[in-house]
Structure 1
C-alpha cells in the first residue's frame, strides 16, 4: 500500500471512530476537536512508514503538529464551557430527521475527512520526496507560518477569555487583535497554510500543494467560515457597528 492510500485509510478509520463516539454521546460537535488531530494522525502515521528523517519532512510535520494539537486543545477547552451540542450541529440534527445518522456520516465526518486529506497534501508530498536541503524559501515559509499561527492562537485565546467573563455575555468581541479584523483566527489559519505551501515548494511536485491554502481560503471566506459565523450575528446592533468599522479578514486600522 502506498503512502497516499495508507494515510487515506487511516484517516477513514479515524473519522469513522469519531462518528461512532459522537453517536454514543449524541454530540456531533466533537468532530471539531478531531479536525486538528486528524492532521497530526495523517502526518505521523505516514512518517512512521515512509519518513526518512529529512529536515524538510521534520519541519513540516512539526509545524502542522503544533498547529493541530493547539487547535484541538483550544476547541476542547471552549467546548468544556459550553452546554450540549454546538448550535450548527443541533440544527442539522433537527432538520435531517430520520436521515440524520447516514447524513451525519457522509456530510460531516466523511466530508471533514476529505477536507483534512486535501489540506494535508503538503505533508504527503514532502513525505513522498522531501527534496533538497532547506533554504531561504523555507525560512520565509516559517516566518509566514509564525505570523499566521500567532494571529490564530492569540485571537482564539483573547476570544476565549472574553467569553469566559460573564459580564460579556451577549456582547461582541472588539478588542485585541479583534479590533483590527473581525476574524483574526481565520486570517491566521489561512496565512499559516500559505507558509506551509512555501516550504513544500522545495519538494518535487511541491507546487501541487497550492490546493491546500486555496481550499482553506475558499472554505473560510465563502463557505463554513466567515459567512456561516456572521449570519448568526446579522441584525445585532453592536455587530453591525463593528462590521462597518472593522475589516472582515485582512487586519487593518478600524474606520473612525
Structure 2
C-alpha cells in the first residue's frame, strides 16, 4: 500500500504543478480519472498478476481513461472553471498551499478511498472467479453504457444549434436526469462487488457508497440541479423524470 500512496503523492504534485503553471486548477478534473489508472498500475505491478486481477484492472482502466480523455477534449485550453476561480478569491494568503491542500490533496485522499476495491483486489493471493463475479461484470457493462451513451447524447444535443437554450429530455435522459452519473455509480458498485466476489473485504462496498453519495449529493447532481432549478421547463422535466435511478419518476 505504501507504493500506492507514494505514487498518488507524486502524481498529484505533478498535477498541481501543471495546474499552477497553466493558472487553471480545473485541470485536476482531467487528472482525476488517470489517477485511478496510475495508482492502479502501482498496485498491480507490486503484487502477483493474475487474470482475475487483470479483469478488475481492465474495468477500472476503461473507466479512468475514458473519463480523462472525455474531460481533456472538453476542458483543455478553456478558462478555469468558476468553482476554482471562486476558490482563488478566498485564497489571497498562501494561495499555493491552500490550492494544493483543498484541491489536489483532497482529491488524492478521495481517490485513495474510492479505489479501495481495486487496491484490495490487487493485494489478494490467487483470487478465483465466482458467479457473482460474472454478474458484476455484466452490471459494470450496463453502467458503462449509461455513462458513455448519456455523455454522447448530451454532446450531440448541444452541438445542434436548434437546441440552444433547451433541455435534453430524450434518450437515456428521458428515464433519468443524470444517466452519466447513474452509470458511473453503477460501475463502481459493480467493481466493488467484483472485488468482494473474489475475496476482497466486504468493506470495499463503502467505497462505492462514498462515490455514489458524492455524485448524488455533493459534486455531481446538486451542481447541475441548482443551475436549472428556477426554469419552468426544468420543473416539468423534474416532476416527470427520476433524478438518479432510471424509470422511478419524480424529483426525489
Mapped partners of 1:196, 1:31: distance in 2: 23
Structure 1, 221-230 or 157-166: larger mean CA deviation: 157-166
Q: 1:215 is matched with which residue? A: 210
Note the aligned Cα RMSD (angstroms): 1.8
Q: TM-score, normalised to structure 2's length?
A: 0.93
Q: Structure 1 98/232 Cα, relative in aligned 2: closer, same or farther at 3 Å? A: farther
Q: 1:27 is matched with which residue? A: 24
Contact 1:96 1:103 (C-alpha < 8 Å) held by counterparts: yes
Mapped partners of 1:227, 1:140: distance in 2: 31
- CA drift of 1:170 comes to 2.7
Mapped partners of 2:197, 2:24: distance in 1: 41
- CA drift of 1:202 comes to 3.1
Mapped partners of 1:134, 1:204: distance in 2: 9
Match of 1:148 among 143, 151, 171: 143
Alignment of 1:184-195 (within 5 A): 184-195=179-190
- CA drift of 1:99 comes to 4.4
Q: Structure 1 28/251 Cα, relative in aligned 2: closer, same or farther at 3 Å? A: same
Match of 1:11 among 8, 11, 24: 8
Q: 1:177 is matched with which residue? A: 172
- CA drift of 1:83 comes to 3.6
Q: Structure 1 164/28 Cα, relative in aligned 2: closer, same or farther at 3 Å? A: farther
Q: Structure 1 60/94 Cα, relative in aligned 2: closer, same or farther at 3 Å? A: same
Q: Structure 1 99/87 Cα, relative in aligned 2: closer, same or farther at 3 Å? A: same
Matched, 1:249 2:222: no
Secondary structure at the aligned position of 1:18 is classed as: helix
Mapped partners of 1:175, 1:130: distance in 2: 46
Q: 2:222 is matched with which residue? A: 227
Secondary structure at the aligned position of 1:172 is classed as: coil
- CA drift of 1:208 comes to 2.1
Alignment of 1:72-91 (within 5 A): 72-80=68-76, 83-91=78-86
Structure 1, 193-202 or 30-39: larger mean CA deviation: 193-202
Unpaired runs of 5+ residues, structure 1, are none
Match of 1:167 among 148, 154, 162: 162
Q: TM-score, normalised to structure 1's length?
A: 0.91
- CA drift of 1:87 comes to 2.0
Mapped partners of 1:175, 1:46: distance in 2: 41
Unpaired runs of 5+ residues, structure 2, are none
Q: 1:111 is matched with which residue? A: 106
Aligned positions, number: 250
Q: Structure 1 46/132 Cα, relative in aligned 2: closer, same or farther at 3 Å? A: closer
- CA drift of 1:254 comes to 5.8
- CA drift of 1:130 comes to 4.6
Q: 1:137 is matched with which residue? A: 132
Contact 2:26 2:80 (C-alpha < 8 Å) held by counterparts: yes
Contact 2:128 2:198 (C-alpha < 8 Å) held by counterparts: no
